[in-house]
């Protein structure tokens, strides 16, 4: 079995756009999809999401165009060798480009083996509790209405994306906790790398008093000293965003240096399922949870769901809401059930299928390479 064809497409549907900060425009959300087929008809499909301010992203697909020629004629089961051959020795590449290829190879493996990826990766559990992950909403009453709706749908946890202005964010966090006691629902707050150290400490102390479950991304991920200081001074776990520390050696060094109480990553940020599963093992060996991002279109959300179901050191699935914008072009979707849990896909590979016609309608860029 050898790789015969690699197809790359940029899917850019005109769906509702959202933002996660007062100074960030509503984001164009792009789904970059890779389909790998072999000479005996095996197939693997994956996609990664990108968020850009002024137009749909094409740079991820363009990066894949310079990686994919490595693949034709190679054995698709040799994922470690292929990942290593794609990895740049000179300048860093877009990790989402490597991730789309790598996850498609894992999907192909699962389809060939007749098993869902979470079982191939370790099979620690078949469900995980979910939290609703909000976009920026209009005002405090909108957040209160949102939490009420999420409770009615079965969620028992909500993570807030707000204005990324410390005082205004804190006013909202206090208001929702007054409305909903800690015994009723868990809350998290994500500041999207926007605070300085003084405001991060002030908000962290207040969130701890409010009984929040964690405080996410108050500082840029690379401010390791800032995260170490915060985590030493408060009891609430202060998590990085998980977007900026993209290589395993740096991730491992951070785990061992007391920077975090809880780590964070996802398949897109670190370059695919191949390195992401190693990040989970590194965190487990350090005695630490590693929360996994699941924000984005269904294909990448599903890949991250398989990752966390394979291990026990992640506590929540991140369910982006409202649902519709993230589910375009899919026959199958991942949704939180009335009991507050997300359940494992049961079909082989990623276990979700695309709606090819819908993806075709929204494709703005397409390229392929074949075995010659």
- Delimit the domains of the chain by residue range: 3-114+352-370, 118-343
CA angle 67, 70, 71 (to 5 degrees): 105
Cα separations in angstroms, 372 against 75, 76, 77, 82, 187? 15, 16, 20, 18, 54
**How large is the C-alpha radius of gyration of the chain?**
20
**pLDDT value for 269:** 92
Q: Fold for 3-114+352-370, please state it.
A: Enolase-like; domain 1 (3.30.390)
Cα atoms in the Cβ-side hemisphere of radius 13 Å centred on 62: 4
**pLDDT value for 116:** 98
Closest CA to 190 of 133, 236, 131: 133
Closest CA to 107 of 94, 116, 98, 97: 116
**pLDDT value for 6:** 98
CB 71 within 8 A of CB 371: no
pTM of the model: 0.97
Taking only the tens of pLDDT, the chain with its 372 residues reads 999 999 999 999 999 999 999 999 999 999 999 999 999 999 999 999 999 999 999 999 999 999 999 999 999 999 999 999 998 877 888 999 999 999 999 999 999 999 999 999 999 999 999 999 999 999 999 999 999 999 999 999 999 999 999 999 999 999 999 999 999 999 999 999 999 999 999 999 999 999 999 999 999 999 999 999 999 999 999 999 999 998 999 999 999 999 999 999 999 999 999 999 999 999 999 999 999 999 899 999 999 999 999 999 999 999 999 999 999 999 999 999 999 999 999 999 999 999 999 999 999 999 999 998
Cα separations in angstroms, 127 against 130, 231, 341, 344, 345? 9, 30, 6, 6, 9
CATH class held by domain 118-343: alpha beta
**pLDDT value for 89:** 76
């Amino acid at each position: 079995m050898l790789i015969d064809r690699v197809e790359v497409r940029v899917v850019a549907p005109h769906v509702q756009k959202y933002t996660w900060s007062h100074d960030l425009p509503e984001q164009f959300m792009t789904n970059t999809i890779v389909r790998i087929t072999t000479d005996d008809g095996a197939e693997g499909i994956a996609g990664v999401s990108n968020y850009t301010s002024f137009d749909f992203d094409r740079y991820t697909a363009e990066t894949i165009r310079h990686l994919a020629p490595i693949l034709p004629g190679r054995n698709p089961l040799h994922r470690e060798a292929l990942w290593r051959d794609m990895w740049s020795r000179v300048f860093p590449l877009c990790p989402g480009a490597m991730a789309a290829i790598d996850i498609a190879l894992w999907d192909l493996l699962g389809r060939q083996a007749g098993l869902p990826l979470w079982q191939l990766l370790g099979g620690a559990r078949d469900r995980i509790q979910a939290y609703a992950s909000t976009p920026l909403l209009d005002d405090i009453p909108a957040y209160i209405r949102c939490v009420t709706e999420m409770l009615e749908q079965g969620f028992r946890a909500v993570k807030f994306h707000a204005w990324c202005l410390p005082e205004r964010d804190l006013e909202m966090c206090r208001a929702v906790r007054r409305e909903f006691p800690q015994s009723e629902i868990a809350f998290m707050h994500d500041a999207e790398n926007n605070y300085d150290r003084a405001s991060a400490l002030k908000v962290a102390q207040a969130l701890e008093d409010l009984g929040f479950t964690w405080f996410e991304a108050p500082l840029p991920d690379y401010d390791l000293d800032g995260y170490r200081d915060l985590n030493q001074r408060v009891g609430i776990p202060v998590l990085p965003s998980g977007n900026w520390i993209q290589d395993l050696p740096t991730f491992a060094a951070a785990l061992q240096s007391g920077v975090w109480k809880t780590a964070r990553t996802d398949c897109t940020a670190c370059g695919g399922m191949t390195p992401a599963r190693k990040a989970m093992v590194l965190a487990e060996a350090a005695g630490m949870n590693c929360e996994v991002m699941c924000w984005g279109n269904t294909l990448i959300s599903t890949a991250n769901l398989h990752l966390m179901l394979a291990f026990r050191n992640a506590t929540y699935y991140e369910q982006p809401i409202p649902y519709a914008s993230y589910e375009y072009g899919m026959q199958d979707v991942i949704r939180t059930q009335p009991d507050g849990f997300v359940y494992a896909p049961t079909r082989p590979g990623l276990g979700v299928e695309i709606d090819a016609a819908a993806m075709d309608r929204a494709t703005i860029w397409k390229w392929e390479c074949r075995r010659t």
